[in-house]
């Protein structure tokens, strides 16, 4: 799944960018991270560029990026877990990831400031901030100094779903580009190039979001789980509770909620509204560290009621 195939015109602009910071905005899973990696590849490639100015894919820098071990690339994103290992209730990128001196618990192996103090191995050090809207004020202020005068000409690539949630000081110092959903035909072609047959359900679910296609096996699994869970609800109370346990076992907070809504899309609006309320209650319970088994059982009962089965 190449970023050039799905976002070629955008890469024409990023390849010639010589500023300090880019801000890529667009819906979740639309492919912002893939574009950011393609930008990092462009700015470090030593080979012959493609039609859209994309990196060659074969030079030493491109090979390092493909292996996931590029020395000039650092990705910063919100904490997914707390220090105790539980899912974080509130997403935030703290100042500790920027400055080692503020990382009291040594949660981060690499800090942005120290990363940029080192000269690039190839051409340009790149810091990808995935989730710029979650930058805490202290972290953002610390970053601003680096963005304005980046050591060794480094490049910042900020990613955000909601431009309004990004601090104005970051927005004003960045060149903004929108990452748009790709046409269905482009997604189908990408599947073909990956050696897979066109999958109408997957294409419909993706709705142009390249990030969905990059996680297609996880998405297919979530769609299967959502379909089996929904179908089993009609078999009676005990099967519904068993289905709740199976759903809990496979639950992926990224894909299962959306997969359930996708499977429910043909149901009457009033049923969908009540089922969606049950789904939101489940997500809130899990975020509050409620008993997972009980939460999924309650969810199954509420969805049965929403569909007139209770």
- Return the top range by mean pLDDT from 12-16, 58-62, 93-97, 284-288: 58-62
Q: Are residues 281 and 143 in the same domain?
A: no
Q: Are residues 286 and 138 in the same domain?
A: no
Q: Is the model's pLDDT at 264 over the cut of 70?
A: yes
Q: Are residues 62 and 126 in the same domain?
A: yes
Residue 106: predicted pLDDT: 83
pLDDT tens per residue across span 193-209: 888 888 999 999 999 99
234-240: average pLDDT? 94
201 inside domain: no
Q: Which of 180, 203, 233 is where one domain is finished?
A: 180
Q: Are residues 156 and 60 in the same domain?
A: yes
260 inside domain: yes
2-23: average pLDDT? 87
Q: Which of 121, 155, 180 is where one domain is finished?
A: 180
185 inside domain: no
Please tell me the pTM assigned to this model: 0.83
9 inside domain: yes
245 inside domain: yes
Q: Which residues contact 190 (CB under 8 A, 6 or more apart)?
A: 1, 2, 5, 6, 210, 213
CA dist., res. 304 & res. 237, Å (int): 9
Q: Are residues 141 and 224 in the same domain?
A: no
CA dist., res. 175 & res. 119, Å (int): 24
Q: Domain of 85: which CATH number? A: 3.40.50.300
Q: Are residues 39 and 163 in the same domain?
A: yes
Q: Count CB neighbours of 169 within 10 A.
A: 15
Q: Are residues 271 and 221 in the same domain?
A: yes
Q: Are residues 224 and 123 in the same domain?
A: no
Range of lowest pLDDT (31-45, 84-98, 228-242): 84-98
Q: Are residues 106 and 255 in the same domain?
A: no
CA dist., res. 132 & res. 166, Å (int): 6
195 inside domain: no
Total tally of structural domains belonging to the chain: 2
Q: Are residues 12 and 157 in the same domain?
A: yes
Are 142 and 98 within 8 A, CB to CB?
Answer: yes
Q: Are residues 154 and 228 in the same domain?
A: no
30-49: average pLDDT? 94
pLDDT tens per residue across span 272-307: 999 999 999 999 999 888 899 999 999 999 999 999
pLDDT tens per residue across span 112-140: 999 999 999 999 999 999 999 999 889 99
Q: Going edge to edge, which strands form the sheet with 175-178?
A: 73-76, 126-130, 155-160, 21-25, 175-178
Positive or negative: CA dihedral 227, 230, 235, 239: positive
Are 230 and 264 within 8 A, CB to CB?
Answer: yes
Q: Are residues 146 and 238 in the same domain?
A: no
3-state secondary structure of 4: helix
The whole domain housing 268 covers 215-306
Confidence band, pLDDT 50/70/90 cuts, at residue 71? very high
pLDDT tens per residue across span 141-155: 999 989 999 999 999
For the chain, the average pLDDT equals: 91
CA dist., res. 240 & res. 261, Å (int): 18
CA dist., res. 292 & res. 285, Å (int): 8
Residue 195: predicted pLDDT: 85
Whole-number percent of the chain with pLDDT over 70: 95
pLDDT tens per residue across span 85-115: 555 556 889 999 999 888 888 888 899 999 9
261 inside domain: yes
3-state secondary structure of 299: helix
Residue 1: predicted pLDDT: 43
């Amino acid at each position: 799944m190449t970023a050039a195939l799905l976002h070629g015109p955008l890469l024409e602009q990023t390849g010639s960018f010589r500023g300090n910071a880019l801000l890529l905005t667009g819906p979740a899973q639309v492919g912002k991270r893939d574009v950011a990696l393609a930008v990092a590849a462009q700015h470090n490639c030593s080979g012959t560029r493609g039609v859209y100015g994309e990196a060659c894919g074969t030079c030493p820098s491109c090979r390092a990026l493909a292996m996931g071990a590029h020395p000039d690339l650092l990705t910063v994103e919100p904490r997914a877990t707390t220090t105790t290992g539980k899912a974080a209730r509130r997403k935030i990128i703290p100042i500790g990831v920027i400055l080692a001196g503020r990382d009291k618990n040594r949660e981060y192996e690499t800090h942005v400031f120290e990363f940029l103090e080192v000269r690039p191995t190839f051409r340009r050090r790149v810091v990808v901030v995935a989730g710029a809207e979650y930058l805490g004020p202290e972290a953002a202020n610390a970053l601003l100094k680096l963005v304005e005068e980046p050591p060794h000409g480094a490049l910042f690539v900020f990613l955000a779903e909601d431009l309004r949630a990004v601090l104005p000081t970051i927005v004003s110092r960045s060149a903004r580009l929108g990452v748009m959903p790709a046409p269905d035909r482009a997604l189908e072609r990408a599947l073909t190039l990956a050696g897979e047959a066109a999958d109408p359900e997957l294409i419909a679910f993706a709705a142009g979001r390249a990030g969905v296609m990059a996680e297609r096996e996880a998405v297919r699994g979530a769609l299967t789980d959502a379909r089996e869970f929904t179908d089993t609800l009609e078999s009676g109370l005990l099967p519904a509770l068993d289905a709740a346990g199976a759903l809990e076992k496979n639950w992926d907070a990224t894909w299962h909620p959306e997969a359930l809504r996708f499977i429910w899309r043909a149901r009457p609006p009033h049923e969908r509204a009540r089922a969606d309320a049950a789904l939101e209650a489940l997500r809130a319970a899990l975020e509050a560290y409620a008993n997972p088994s009980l939460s999924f059982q309650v969810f199954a009962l509420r969805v049965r009621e929403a569909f007139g089965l209770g």
